Amino acid sequence: MTSRKWRTPQEGTSYASLPAWRRFLTDFRSVLREGKSVLKESSSALLLSVAADLTAGIALVGFASLLLDFPGTLIMVPGALAARGNVYATLASRLSTALHLGEVEPSLRMNRWLRENIRVSLVQTLTISAALAVFARAAALLLDLPSLSLLELLFISLVGTIISAAVLLGGTSLITLGSFRRGWDPDNISSPLITTIGDFITLPSMVAAVYLLIHLRGTLAHGVAVVLGLSVLFLLLDTLRRRGSSAEEVLSQSLHVLLVCALISIVTGTLLSARAESLIGYSIFLLLLPLLNGQSGNLGSILSSRLSTAYYLGLTSLKRRMDRFSRREAALIILLSFIVFPLAGVIALSLSTIYPLTHPGIPLTAALIVLIGFLLGVEASLLSYNLSHMAVRFSLNPDNVVIPLLTTLMDLAVMGTLLVILSVAGLI
């Protein structure tokens, strides 16, 4: 991110003296004029991710019945999707900030910084995956819901994570370093693409783990789950005991946040599991669910990454109230929501002509998608800024804590917004 001077279109007029609505219009026009490169970079990455998220949605529609046959698994799905984005988008954000500050060279050659951060990302992902299995089993017992055993859930969660980790670690490094070397701002590109890769690969990885469980079901599967669980515990403790290392610093700052995120995602997963049959009745919204989750998280992550980099470059103070720079950044994200979500709706409705998707009619479906998309854009902007402000206030690195909390809370916001809007519309 480079410093740029925002222009006020009315020369000689004091910006502070303008009424609030005029200041908003002035800022919005400045966004359109001065933010062309940002819009181009971000919208390209987001539009590419729309196609992958819709593919993940098709997978969710296709795999929903299978996952319902393995009770408890569906409860873990939102958390598994969020964990991939939380960990690897956060890694990309740290890497982007390090590149901007000159702390890391834009090279794929392994160095200490990359080695430490790859290690901590792997430990984070495996730890959260194990926690998701424990939380899902506890939620099922607490709410008297049918569920697989703890070891079976642990097997599915950890094996699915291992399958996806290799792709995501390599993808994060290639996307972030490659975009920086091309002269692009990784903050505008990395989070959407990495979250999309996570969304794209997570469900197939979990389904592959389910089929492997079917093949190994019994003592052997339980034994594998125990070995994997103990290995995760060893890696976690070994990383935490390395006092002063960057891996220990990142893990100690982020682990409690990620565990809270995993717990929140179980609430989302429980809602999804409880409402799955209703959403299957209007399957176009089930298809759109990964996209709504992914893109709202992407929008907030773009803003979070840009605010973090801007904060360290001295372009914004991240005080309780948004300054002019932050307002324009937030307006840019809301503008992106008007591009991404309506386009996704058009594609989804087009898919319904060739894929067996049920919906309540084209006009109503289109209107609901636009409304939901706008609400999520506003929610993502407000949540991203306030979480960034709180991180700075409590002397935490925003790169380590904001994106995990943001994407997890946005998953819950997506589920809540979707269910409320569909309920008000009389569809569920």
Tens-level pLDDT at each residue, the chain (428 residues): 544 444 433 444 565 666 666 766 776 676 666 556 666 666 666 667 777 778 878 888 888 778 888 888 989 988 888 787 778 877 887 888 788 777 777 766 767 777 888 888 888 899 999 999 999 999 999 988 888 999 999 999 999 999 988 888 888 888 888 888 877 777 767 776 787 788 778 888 988 999 999 888 778 889 999 999 999 999 888 888 877 677 777 787 778 888 888 898 899 888 888 887 778 788 888 888 888 887 888 788 888 878 887 777 777 777 877 777 777 778 778 888 888 888 888 888 888 888 888 888 889 999 999 999 999 989 998 998 889 888 888 877 777 778 778 888 888 899 899 999 998 988 87
Distance between CA atoms of residues 214 and 221, nearest Å: 9
How many angstroms separate the first and last alpha carbons of the chain?
A: 44
Distance between CA atoms of residues 405 and 386, nearest Å: 11
| 260 burial level (CB within 10 Å; 0-12, 13-18, 19+) | middle
| Phi, psi angle pair for 324, to nearest 5° | -65, -40
Considering just the CA atoms, what is the radius of gyration of the chain in Å?
A: 21
Give this prediction's pTM.
0.74
- Is 127 within 8 Å of 247 (Cβ atoms)? no
Distance between CA atoms of residues 194 and 174, nearest Å: 10
Nearest to 124 by CA among 83, 160, 159, 171: 83
Distance between CA atoms of residues 96 and 103, nearest Å: 10
Distance between CA atoms of residues 239 and 254, nearest Å: 13
- Using alpha carbons, list the distances in angstroms from residue 50 to 220, 230, 312: 39, 38, 31
Please give the helix or strand (H or E) that residue 143 lies within, else none: none
Nearest to 409 by CA among 297, 299, 302, 325: 297
Nearest to 197 by CA among 305, 303, 88: 88
Distance between CA atoms of residues 176 and 186, nearest Å: 5
Per the listing, tokens 């409320």 go with 420
- Using alpha carbons, list the distances in angstroms from residue 298 to 271, 275, 329, 384: 22, 25, 14, 11
Whether the CA torsion 332, 335, 341, 343 is positive or negative: it is negative
Number of Cβ within a 10 Å radius of residue 258: 25
Using DSSP, state whether 5 is helix, strand or coil.
Answer: coil
Q: Would you state the pLDDT for residue 358? A: 84
What residue ranges in 157-201 does DSSP mark as E strands?
Answer: none
Judged by phi (left if over 0) then psi (alpha if -120 to 50, else beta), residue 107 lies in: beta
Tokens matching residue 24 = 């908003």
* Interacting residues of 14 by C-beta distance below 8 A, sequence separation 6+: none
Tokens matching residue 370 = 């636009």
Cα-Cα-Cα-Cα torsion 30, 32, 38, 39, nearest 10 degrees, comes to 160
Which 3-state string (H, E, C) describes 97-109? HHHHCCCCCCCCC
- Is 63 within 8 Å of 207 (Cβ atoms)? yes
- Is 285 within 8 Å of 423 (Cβ atoms)? no
Tokens matching residue 161 = 């994570």
